[in-house]
Amino acid sequence: MKRRVKGFLVILIGVLIMSGCVATNINTPPSSQQSILAYQRLATMLRQGRVTHMDFWNDNVVQDLDNDIEVMLSDVQTLEAMESITFELSSSSVAKAHFEALLRVRERTLINPILRVEVNGEVPFRESATVDVAILWRDVTKNFTLDSYGDESLPNQESDNTLRWIPFFNNTYATSRPLFYQLNEGVNVITITNVSSDPIDISGFKASTPWDIPSYQAPSSNPSASIEERINAIAYVSKNSSFVRLSSHPSISVSPFDPVDKKLNVIDGLSWNKSGQAVDYEISVPQSGYYQLSFHYNNQKPDFSVFRSIAINGTIPFKEVESYAFKPTTMGRWGIETISDEQGNPYWFYLESGKNILTLRAENAPIQYSLDTLQLMIDHINQFALDIRKITGKEVDRNRTWKLTSFLPETESVLESYEILLEAVLHDTAQYAPNGLSSSTLSYLQKALFKVRKMREKPDELPLYLDDLYSQTGSVTEMIGLSLTELANQSLSLNEIAVSTTKTTMVAEASVIDKTISGLQAFIASFTSQKYVAQKDPEALNIWVNRSITYVDTMQKLVDADFTQKTGIKVKISVMPDVNRLILANAANQSPDVALGLPSICHLTLQFVVLPTHLVILMIIGKLLQPWHRELLFLTCMKVMLMLYPKL
């Protein structure tokens, strides 16, 4: 009986504590005025000033530029690292404009170059110091080659090295529109500096009128003919990031699909997850008119929306799709999203007869103010914690009665600002989560808010809890940093696009019967398939690797896509689950030509070569280099070989 009562009391106390903890974070959102004042209080206290694009235009209200101002160079000029070029633009009045330049990246440039843009000798806001020059990438072929296992391999990519007008976005793509710049009345001097290591060519510069994106207006009549065109996501024509890649998703709910061999069938959300990454598709319709757009997608976030802007032929047609929210799908499942308003009424997009370019770009714009606020808090907490350390020293005396407000009288107002801004961010972002404030994506912010409220109860004793505010595992700064990463993640996997005049016929998930059949086929193949079995092929260079199947599969695809195509030498890479199998293979006259991934250098009297994995990878990479680089790498590898194996 006593045990039951004791157990009941423990449960009751636990429930009360948990309910108390939850209640602590239940609050009404602060007013916009409170949030603005708290934001400004922290921003003005920073010793290293920070003016964001949003801050700049909150303080400046000017009219839009009336007409484009264009300056063309007589010859293409190359900007080497840290070289600059200036343009002079005359404006009849103070005006707001977008900037763009006629640029060309050089061949073999792999990372987007970065520009610093100054107006009249000053960088107007933080984002202008890192303007992104997006490289346009295309797949060399859409006829995917098969590797030695019969799986489709990723195609090589080639960059567009022609002159293109590129609008100025920050490299974090904090805005869905190009950056706004202010031109003063009279002559304005625009200085562009290449702050990256790769050279870039420039041929012209333009200040253009700001984008005018109207609100949605439903067409007066809908098309009568029933039309549906589908485009597989792997059929994109270009992309602005080489990191966006295709992937093979092992589910019959996507197409194409094979239960045994891997088919490239989706754009991988793990690679299409950063704001600004865009993918272009060519869509063809038989006649001009209005069409619906539907997407077969998977939101990688468990309970938070991701955002994409939708442009037709380079123009966002209306504001509602400037940053459209793709709602979360159940973990591991796929969904159908027909672009619609909040009531579920589909938007109609006007398409010209023939070919049109549809662009999908990841966006942070709806939550960018929240991201800026969290970054401001991290910057301020770092500075504030340093000020406290100057008072307490490296080691805090925990036996002392602290009166921090006597040294830092702003302590209470600072903690209050932290609380207000965390509350504001939570309520601003909760609208994009089906579970609202209970969203797991916002859980770190809830923990940070709980800690800040505890600190506000005894601000004088903050030195005793400084590790909870800063530096310690589970501190407020760590919670905010994790939230920044989670919120900015725009992972979305895409399988198919439908352009239709009626409700799409795409299906989100395959039927239970189809899933069962494909599962059985894959299960049987796991026993009968010889794809990764370590068997010697007399017609190939046989390599055994003591690594996982994923590791071996990646190596096989790299070798098949480059080495075998260039040399004609067939290579078979197999999994070696046990190093001792080398002895048995040698006894059966089935030893491989090369063995990789051994735990140490093995002095075995066998008729094959045992190489460290990194050495073979270097040799494979050497095939991708220029001839003189290749010779240098070959000589280096030979020296290492002679050191490791002097008897060879």
What digits encode the pLDDT tens for the residues 198-224? 999 999 999 999 999 999 999 987 776
**Whole-number Å distance between alpha carbons of 556 and 149:** 9
CB atoms within 10 A of CB 481: 17
**Whole-number Å distance between alpha carbons of 529 and 555:** 19
Interval 352-359 mean pLDDT: 95
Q: DSSP string covering 379-438, please?
A: HHHHHHHHHHHHHH-SS--TTS---HHHH-TTHHHHHHHHHHHHHHHHHHHGGGSTTGGG
Q: Which one, of 235, 447, 463, 270, lies nearest residue 362 by Cα?
A: 270
Cβ atoms of 95 and 65 within 8 Å: the answer is: yes
**How crowded is the C-beta side of 598, counted as CA atoms within 13 Å?**
20
**Cα–Cα separations (whole angstroms), residue 549 to 15, 261, 486, 532, 575:** 47, 14, 30, 7, 7
E-strand ranges in 92-148 read 95-105, 114-119, 131-132, 137-139
Residue in this structure with the two tokens 């007399």, named with its chain if needed: 538
pLDDT at residue 648 in the model: 47
**Whole-number Å distance between alpha carbons of 328 and 432:** 9
Q: Where are the alpha helices (DSSP H) in 199-294?
A: none
Please list, in sequence order, all residues whose beta carbon lies within 8 angstroms of the beta carbon of residue 293, skipping any fewer than 6 positions away: 310, 338, 339, 347, 349, 358, 497, 498, 499
* End-to-end CA gap in the chain: 80
Answer with the residue of higher pLDDT: 8 or 29.
Answer: 29
Residue 314: helix, strand or coil by DSSP?
Answer: coil
Q: What is the pLDDT of residues 457-483, one digit of tens each?
A: 999 999 998 989 988 889 999 999 999
DSSP 8-state code for residue 367: G
Q: Which one, of 532, 559, 542, lies nearest residue 607 by Cα?
A: 542
Strands 137-139 and 157-159: antiparallel
**Whole-number Å distance between alpha carbons of 567 and 560:** 10
pLDDT at residue 21 in the model: 42
pLDDT at residue 566 in the model: 81
**Whole-number Å distance between alpha carbons of 85 and 102:** 13
E-strand ranges in 305-370 read 306-312, 324-326, 335-338, 349-351, 354-362
**Whole-number Å distance between alpha carbons of 181 and 60:** 11
Give this prediction's pTM.
0.82
Buried b (16+ CB within 10 A) or exposed e, 283-292: bebeeebbbb
Residue in this structure with the two tokens 């009128």, named with its chain if needed: 209
Most confident by average pLDDT, 13-17, 18-22, 562-566: 562-566
Strand partners, 57: none
In SS3 terms, 435-452 reads as: CHHHCHHHHHHHHHHHHH
Q: Count how many residues are written for the chain.
A: 648
Maximum pairwise Cα distance, the chain: 96
pLDDT at residue 533 in the model: 63
For residue 256, whether the previous peptide bond is cis, meaning omega lies within 30 degrees of 0, is yes
**Whole-number Å distance between alpha carbons of 44 and 292:** 48
Residue in this structure with the two tokens 């939570």, named with its chain if needed: 426
Q: Which one, of 389, 484, 478, lies nearest residue 441 by Cα?
A: 484
Q: DSSP string covering 125-141, please?
A: SGGGGSEE-PPPEEES-
**Whole-number Å distance between alpha carbons of 612 and 598:** 7
Amino acid at 337: E
Angle at 350 between CA 345 and CA 351, to 5 degrees: 130
Angle at 183 between CA 179 and CA 189, to 5 degrees: 100
pLDDT at residue 636 in the model: 59
**Cα–Cα separations (whole angstroms), residue 417 to 58, 373, 463, 469:** 20, 11, 18, 14
Interval 538-558 mean pLDDT: 81
**Whole-number Å distance between alpha carbons of 154 and 78:** 33
Tokens of residue 335, six digits: 């969904």
Residue 279: helix, strand or coil by DSSP?
Answer: strand
Most confident by average pLDDT, 134-148, 417-431, 617-631: 417-431
Tokens of residue 236, six digits: 């994109």
Q: Where are the alpha helices (DSSP H) in 164-288?
A: none
Tokens of residue 602, six digits: 């093995």
Give the neighbor-by-neighbor strand order of the sheet with 131-132: 84-91, 186-194, 114-119, 131-132, 169-170
Cβ atoms of 203 and 76 within 8 Å: the answer is: yes
Range from 6-20, 269-283, 440-454, 632-646 carrying the lowest mean pLDDT: 6-20
**What pLDDT band is residue 607 in, cutting at 50, 70 and 90?**
very low
Tokens of residue 126, six digits: 């933080």
Strand partners, 84: 193
pLDDT at residue 85 in the model: 96
Residue in this structure with the two tokens 């800690």, named with its chain if needed: 451
CB atoms within 10 A of CB 362: 26
Tokens of residue 287, six digits: 């006649």
Q: What is the pLDDT of residues 225-261, one digit of tens each?
A: 889 999 999 999 999 999 999 999 999 999 999 888 8
Phi, psi values for residue 34, rounded to 5°: -60, -45
Residue 63: helix, strand or coil by DSSP?
Answer: strand
Interval 482-507 mean pLDDT: 95
**What pLDDT band is residue 626 in, cutting at 50, 70 and 90?**
very low
pLDDT at residue 302 in the model: 84
